[in-house]
Structure 1
């Protein structure tokens, strides 16, 4: 739907069901990493390979592209479709490098729970996102007596492609992102909070992935959604794509005569990583789960620099651990997964985070924005040519893609 120069994007995805070897690559064709045969890890994804594979998790985007200088947006995530304030979800937070403006973090850490939608947006839109969350929460039936709310808002700075000082996003637009949340496939790339982001010198964006544990490991689902806007030395399944493409952190110092643009040399920026699971976990073990997202981030070559905000929030959607009014006000017994059964979930988070970041790059499209700045999309044909140089990748990934 288009409204006065901007549009709301509901969840959808574009599938290119092609084998990696027959994929007709052009600079404008985009595909998810798995569709190219880039398959991180050993665990299987869910049917959507998205955070919404976790039951009842909802995602919505609001994308704002206006004139020649506004390139920004909002992504909203609801842990479940009920009253989030009355049925709070246990949650944990991990901070890899804290150069960020993440609202609600201290209460999240103190109480170990989320009571609102989670909003991802740009740095200077955080207060307006909080306004939208307050309006949304106060308007819900059952919240008539609510006087204190802890809005959870994460951000990255999209000020290279977006004229961030204009503060073009309004609380009403952010409210519409919440209203647009839905289960099902999730839009990726240059949408929502990923509209104006840059990662590894290429166009970044929204990415998502999931993993399902086999029944003998509990059968639980883990889903991850990322807003990528950070730098480093990109590697994909260990292949040094950043170095081989000539876009990587510190190139301007190591190769003083290079002509690459400044944003491809830097590692500052941020990433927000949201981890959802249906495993019944305490906030303590959800904090441990959130920390494993950092391992997935590291696999992609992130530098986690001084000027980067690297945040992960993990939450459980299991109804048995939700903090209902009754459970908050009386002694109760809650069955939760013990420490000894956590390791497979750790593996699932690492793999899903890595793939979500790849998806954010593979699905993002080139963009021209503020002051004529142009950021190219990661060229998939070039990436595939690098990957083919590495025979171990080619043999293993090709066999996986063929279902062998």
Structure 2
């Protein structure tokens, strides 16, 4: 029987760009950012979950953070995106889950926000929820995760290492016909003498022809062209919402590097936010004339390049940290299974000395 090895892409020697990573090579390298998962693997039919991202440990509704949203192909649902695009603000945790759980996730975010001290008179909340469809391995019609389970994901958010692969919102996802999931990565960039951190977390569930570090690999898997991916970017760089939107748009550069089909049936979404105190939208700043300090256009290009690298590596981590999974295909009503990337079984496309040896 084949034994699968879970390793991050960097740990098998894969080249991952030019910029150094943070200590954990994870979104949580951005100070104050926390991540939580709820993973549901039950019986033969439940393979789903939720992942929560909190930009800081305070009251997000009161101390909002600037944010930018980008969509490449909009075959999907991303609750709260229009208000982010309009106001350039994020006021709740970000939750990722499956397609039919979006409504329950909104309710979980609402409950969490209304329960925060200081929010006793709040009557309107822009809950932010992204999704991909895990119905190939999960009985998505079974109403899981439920609202309480998604609340548990929010409550579990912590700093430190982030679990990857078939966890949280990535429990039942599929990418390139293989097991997808949650992946994360980070980069550190010096701009005008100050070092800033960018962290990316992805929920991969899309199609194309897998490309690892510029080399096309035959994984012997069925080629999927459709599917979706959600990419979330955190940074401590002081950016305005306009440049955060531009930062989010660069995620699609990293997505393309992995061989994404970017097809008609693909939902490709990216959200970026800044945790910098100098741009945080506190109640006092929102009452009148705001004076903030943020990076100018002419110095942000290194951040753009770094987010492309971090997105590519986060996606590859979501794949190499996966394991084979059997579940229930809601479309066919039959059992379904997918293989994970097995590092010893990847066949190189040409000469034995051409490309990477990932073994």
Give the distance between the partners of 1:229 and 1:141, measured in 2 at CA.
37
2:150 equivalent to 1:174: yes
State the match for 2:181 in structure 1.
Answer: 205
Q: CA deviation at 1:216?
A: 5.5
1:40-189 superposed matches below 5 A = 40-189=16-165
Of 331, 335, 347, the residue aligned with 1:372 is 335
- Tell me the SS of whatever aligns to 1:161: coil
* Separation in 2, partners of 1:120, 1:356: 16
Q: 1:16 matched to which residue of 2?
A: none
3-state SS of paired residue (1:245): coil
How big is the shift at 1:245?
2.8
* Number of equivalences: 353
CA distance in 2, matches of 1:216, 1:324: 26
Structure 1 unmatched runs, 5+: 1-25, 248-263, 399-404
Match of 1:298 among 247, 256, 266: 256
User: TM-score, normalized by length of structure 2?
Assistant: 0.95
| Cα 1:392/1:194, change in 2 over 3 Å | closer
- Residue ranges of structure 2 left out of the alignment (5+ in a row): 329-333
CA shift for structure 1 position 330: 1.5
- 1:4-43 pair list within 5 angstroms: 27-43=3-19
Asked if residue 277 in structure 1 is aligned to residue 217 in structure 2, the reply is no
| Superimposed CA distance per residue, residues 165-219 of structure 1 (whole angstroms, 9 cap, x where no aligned partner) | 1112210000000000000000000000000000001000000000001465631
In structure 1, C-alpha distance between the alignment counterparts of 2:153 and 2:118, rounded to whole Å: 22
Query: Kindly tell me: are residues 388 and 275 of structure 1, through their superposed partners in 2, closer, same or farther at Cα, counting changes over 3 Å?
Result: farther
- 1:65 Cα shift? 1.1
Q: Which residue of 2 aligns with 1:308?
A: 266
Counterpart of 1:369 in 2: which secondary structure?
Answer: strand
State the alpha-carbon separation in 2 of the partners of residues 388 and 314 from structure 1.
Answer: 40
1:332 Cα shift? 2.1
Q: Decide whether the 8 Å contact of 1:200 with 1:230 is kept in 2.
A: yes
Give the CA deviation at 1:317.
Answer: 0.5
Could you say which residue in structure 2 is the equivalent of 1:227?
203
Q: What does residue 311 of structure 2 align with? A: 353
More strand by proportion, 1 or 2? 2
- Quick check: 1:30–1:380 contact (8 Å CA) kept in 2? no
Deviation track 1:113-171 (CA, whole Å, cap 9, x = no partner) reads: 11000000000000000000000000000111111000000000000100101112210
The aligned counterpart of 1:333 is 291
State how far apart, in whole Å, the 1-side matches of 2:257 and 2:165 are: 20
Give me the whole-angstrom Cα distance separating, in 1, the residues matched to 2:298 and 2:192.
14
CA distance in structure 2 between the partners assigned to 1:267 and 1:305 by the alignment? 6
Is the 8 Å Cα contact of residues 98 and 309 (structure 1) preserved in structure 2?
Answer: yes
Asked if structure 1 preserves the Cα contact closer than 8 Å seen for 2:178 and 2:340, the reply is yes
Deviation string, structure 1 residues 59-81 (Cα, Å, up to 9, x no partner):
00000111110100000000111
Note if contact 1:190-1:205 (Cα within 8 Å) is conserved in structure 2: yes
1:313/1:388 Cα in 2 relative to 1: closer, same or farther (>3 Å)?
A: farther
Q: 1:152 to 1:390 in 2, by over 3 A?
A: farther
Query: Where does residue 323 of structure 1 map in the other structure?
Result: 281
Is the contact made by 1:85 and 1:137 (CA closer than 8 Å) also made in structure 2?
yes
**Do structure 1's residue 287 and structure 2's residue 245 form an aligned pair?**
yes
Whole-Å separation in 1 of the counterparts to 2:345 and 2:260: 20
TM-score (norm 1): 0.85
- Contact 2:109-2:151 within 8 A present in 1 as well: yes
**What is the alpha-carbon distance in structure 1 between the residues aligned to residue 302 and residue 31 of structure 2?**
19
Name the residue aligned to 2:345. Answer: 382
Contact 1:387 1:393 in 2 (8 A): no
